Structure 1
Amino acid sequence: MGTFKIEGGHSLSGEITPQGAKNEALQILCAVLLTSEKVTIHNIPDIVDVNKLISLLEDLGVKIQKKGKGSYTFKSDDINLDYLQSDQFKQDGRGLRGSIMLVGPLLARFGKGYIPKPGGDKIGRRRLDTHFEGFIKLGAKFRYNREEYFYGVEAKELKGTYMLLDEASVTGTANILMAAVLAKGQTTIYNAACEPYLQQLCKMLNRMGAKITGVGSNLLEIEGVDSLGGTEHTMLPDMIEIGSWIGLAAMTKSELTIKNVSWDDLGQIPTTFKKLGIQLERRGDDIYIPEHKDGYEIQNYIDGSILTIADAPWPGLTPDLLSIILVVATQAKGELIIHQKMFESRLFFVDKLLDMGSKIILCDPHRAAIIGHDFKSTLKATTMTSPDIRAGVSLLIAALSAKGTSTIHNIEQIDRGYEDIDVRLRAIGAKIDRV
């Protein structure tokens, strides 16, 4: 189990460039299975979860060539479908949440898709019902081996249909979409997710020859086609990492520039941090954050009541940033309520922040009230264990702002979502070592 040693209490400075988007990568990489032609993808993040998925694709028979940092070509012209029934696949697929995204493309092109119950973060239930209900509506037969927790869908032919999703699931929408592009006839998906990464997938599929309209809305229309061709695609920067660096700059009173952020795809993120009193400035496609010498003050509502920040489907705030916002609020002037609606275990890392001296009341599994210190007292260094990707980075930000040397164990969770995070942080002045 890896460990970070962090000497906190130091200001950082300079420029940092966000990696490619993890959540986009897990969709885009699975889409290469929809064609036998070559697909080239750029800005792929070099992180554990993405590298696991690339290895899964290679074991499936996808021919993969690395062209440079973050750039690969994929050719899925000789897929080994027997691998899907192997013990090795049942083991490998279980260790990656994103493996569920393989099912839609495999079902669409080969008439069958299987997956073991996926693993990933221990942040609460993540239902797979939306995915499989969509496949069934397209004409697939569902089967489930309870002893092995092994799911499967099979169909001789998928047929377009109308469906109203029970939740605006991003991965569910993407999976159903990838199945529908090769189905016969027209498919309508209402209550579809519409976040930028899903829009990126739609644009990529359309370049491959798919016929998708309504991109960017919650009503997608897909006219099925017989086959798809190759394409070239560049992934967006990771908006969660961008939010992480904004929070880091504020907590450490650092002057930072975040490069090439794709401002137009950030949605509520800049506005939400401004509500916390954090100054940020748009400079071209960069975000400039000045040194917050006098701290930052949370805005109340117009009637004076305490601000509540909650997650919501796009264009609402992504749930992946609530852990970061919670940590940032611990040193703000004022009070904040965090309402994490989607996952019932994501706020349980606050016990580590309480050990560091923060003032947080965990109201229930979904809500926390934070009373900010206004930097009048600093967080104390401590020893912690990272429970999941986003909580891990939140604890890392807390450690970088705390006085003394902190230890974070189980940093493999952080490595799942952040590329060379210790190297990049040292480049802007952080005192962090991997041991």
Structure 2
Amino acid sequence: MSDQQMFIIQGEARLKGTLHVDGNKNAALPLIAASIVSPYPVVLKRIPQILDVQRMCEILTHMGADITIPAQDALLINTANLDPSRIHTAAWEAVRAAILFVGPIVSRFGNIAFPTPGGDVIGRRRLDTHFLTLQAMGASVDCQQNRFVVTAPPEGLHPASIFLDEASVTATENILLAAASTPGTTTLENVACEPHVQDLTDFLCQCGAQIEGRGSNRLIVHGSETLKAPDEFAIGADYIQTGAFIGIALCTQSELRISQAGTKYLKPIEIGLAKYGARFQIDGDDVIVPGNQPLRAVEDIGTSVGKLDSQPWPGFPSDMTSTAVVLATQAEGAILIHEKLYESRLFFVDKLVRMGARITLCDPHRALIIGRTELFGTKLESPDIRAGIALLTAALC
């Protein structure tokens, strides 16, 4: 763990107080990329202070962007002097969201050459949809020795009617960025519609694009090559972080208030946690989790074992699957968790088994958990960010 932090956690304690939710990481990264669609400065607010944000900023500054930090959770970004030929290879290869720079750069500058982006290994995360959508707008894509070159035709990208072959969040954001800065009307179907995609849509509309269908899987984008970024834009709450905090409260039998929680986006999480008999209360934009809740896996009607599936929005979020597994270890009864999106998401459960959990990994996508189990301490390493918060939750039990 040479460049990673180590935490020593003493569990079995009741928690109390208020937790404050950060801005949505999955909204912050595409909005940093979106600063490219306009040569005007923009202040992005409620930006979480995480490594992926730092790496995205490193990529931009290496290309000549001017980035300052006017407040603790804000970024002032000016891409007027951007030079996309100056790719920071190490930073690009370290963050999956680097792919989001491709759409706006090709639209504004006509060409980009870049290495394969990195990020958490939670399963096969193909790039095909990114390239297929850009090709539909006239771009050419060439791949040689793990480097990609994407080039717009001499006249620039053109509007198109595009049906995504999968509802990929980042591919939706990439083509949305390209379409918004391309004159004409582009129709996008089978797009992702997660809250962070909605945040990006709102930002682009404030830049001057006209986008119909916000929050749906069909967007009609009336683009413009003269977009102007708003002076400032605040991103929404990280509802996944809210869900993780709720999971911590439930596993430790603690009463907690979670402030600025993004409550309008919590219904899928609320329905998922009901599979354990869990509940929480809404107070404005805060969540109150009552303490001492008896957790019990709820059987599905007509069967003996309940089932929780991850799904694209507005279903139960894949990013909550790891927390859901830990919750299942603290609930009486059995539940089958089916992670439908990523085949490596569940590959951290062996660490919970080392802590005493009773988990059978049926296949890469399904795990059967039998609770309730008293977990005990051991030394663990987290394979990805969502597994990390899940293991932290388990350690607090």
TM (normalized to structure 1)? 0.88
**CA-CA distance at 1:69 after TM superposition:** 1.1
Contact 1:102 1:113 in 2 (8 A): no
State the match for 2:169 in structure 1: 170
Cα deviation, residue 247, structure 1 = 0.7
Whether 1:313 and 2:312 are equivalent positions in the alignment is yes
SS of 2:143 mapped into structure 1: strand
8 Å Cα contact 1:42-1:234 kept in structure 2 = yes
Q: Which deviates more from structure 2 when the two are superposed, residues 120-129 or residues 303-312?
A: 303-312
User: Any idea what the Cα deviations from partners look like across 1:173-205, whole Å, max 9, x if unmatched?
Assistant: 000010011223221110011111101101110
Matching residue of 1:23: 26
How far apart are the structure 2 equivalents of 1:275 and 1:330? 13
Q: 1:190 to 1:394 in 2, by over 3 A?
A: same
Determine whether 1:70 maps to 2:73.
yes
For 2:277 and 2:149, the matched residues in 1 are separated by 49
Shift of 1:298: 2.0
The answer to whether residue 360 in structure 2 is matched with residue 361 in structure 1 is yes
**Partner Cα separation in structure 1 for residue 54 and residue 267 of structure 2:** 28
C-alpha distance in 1 between matches for 2:96 and 2:262: 26
SS at match of 2:69: strand
Query: Shift of the alpha carbon at 1:115?
Result: 2.6
Quote the residue 1:381 is aligned against.
Answer: 377
Deviation at 1:362, TM superposition (A): 0.5
Distance 1:341 1:204 in 2: 30
* Cα distance in 2 between the residues matched to 1:43 and 1:243: 18
What residue identity is the alignment partner of 1:393?
I
Residues paired across the two proteins, number? 391
> What is the aligned partner in structure 1 of residue 241 from structure 2?
241
Q: Secondary structure at the match of 1:158?
A: coil
Please state how far the C-alpha of 1:116 moved relative to its aligned partner.
1.2
1-structure distance, mates of 2:58, 2:298: 46
Contact 1:282/1:288, CA 8 A, preserved across alignment: yes
In the alignment, structure 2 segments of 5+ residues that lack a partner are none
- Contact 2:268/2:315, CA 8 A, preserved across alignment: yes
Rounded to whole Å, the distance in 1 between the matches of 2:322 and 2:184 is 43
**1:286 partnered with 2:286:** yes
1:305: how far off?
3.7
Q: Contact between 2:208 and 2:228, CA under 8 Å: does it hold in 1? A: yes
Residue type matched to 1:332 in 2? A
- Alignment map for 1:14-93 (pairs within 5 Å): 14-84=17-87, 89-93=88-92
Helix, strand or coil for the counterpart of 1:92?
helix
* 2:143 pairs with 1:183: no
Contact kept? 2:56, 2:91, Cα under 8 Å: no
Classify the secondary structure of the residue corresponding to 2:211: strand
| Aligned 8 A contact 1:330 1:371 in 2 | yes
List runs of 5+ in structure 1 lacking aligned partners.
Answer: 402-435
TM-superposed deviation, 1:219:
0.6
CA contact (8 A) 1:14 1:256 kept: yes
CA shift at 1:73, angstroms? 1.4
Aligned residue for 1:237, secondary structure, equals coil
Matched residue, 2:268: 268
Q: Does 1:119 align with 2:122?
A: no
The aligned residue for residue 427 of structure 1 is none
| 1:399 matched residue in structure 2 | 395
Per-residue deviation at 1:128?
0.5
Which SS does the other structure have where 2:380 is aligned?
Answer: strand
2:94 aligned partner: 95
Structure 2 CA distance for aligned equivalents of residues 311 and 31 of structure 1: 28
Q: How many angstroms does 1:322 deviate by?
A: 0.3
1:326 corresponds to: 325
Q: How far 1:260 moved relative to its partner? A: 1.1
| Alpha-carbon offset, residue 124 of structure 1 | 1.2
- Cα distance, 1:81 vs structure 2: 2.7
> TM-score when scaled to structure 2?
0.96
Of all paired residues, the percent bearing the same amino acid is 40
Report the equivalent of 1:108.
107
Matched with 2:337 is: 338
Secondary structure of residue in 1 paired with 2:325: helix
Q: Conserved in 1, the CA contact under 8 Å of 2:238 and 2:262?
A: no
Conserved? CA contact 1:22–1:238, under 8 Å: yes
What secondary structure is seen at the aligned counterpart in 2 of 1:257?
Answer: strand
Report deviation, 1:270.
1.6
SS of 1:361's equivalent?
strand
> How far is 1:163 from its partner?
1.1
Secondary structure at 1:6 match in 2:
coil
- Write the distance in 1 (CA, Å) between the matches of 2:205 and 2:44: 15
- Native 8 Å contact 1:210 1:224 kept in 2: yes
Report if aligned partners of 2:84, 2:105 keep a CA contact under 8 Å in 1: no
User: Following the alignment from structure 2 to structure 1, what is the Cα–Cα distance between the partners of residues 114 and 323?
Assistant: 32
Deviations 1:186-240 (A, max 9, x none): 2111001111110110111011001111111111111221210021211111111
- The CA deviation at 1:75 is 1.1
Q: What does residue 150 of structure 1 align with? A: 147
Q: Secondary structure at the match of 1:362?
A: strand
Identify the residue that residue 196 of structure 1 maps to in structure 2.
195
Q: What per-residue deviation string (whole Å, max 9, x for no partner) do you get for residues 91-114 of structure 1?
A: 221011110001011011111123
User: How far apart, in 2, do the equivalents of 1:259 and 1:269 lie?
Assistant: 16
> Mean Cα displacement is larger for which, 331-340 or 180-189?
180-189
- The whole-number CA distance in structure 2 between the counterparts of 1:199 and 1:92 is 27
Distance in structure 2 (CA, Å) of the matches to 1:82 and 1:301:
55
Separation in 2 of the partners of 1:178 and 1:319? 24
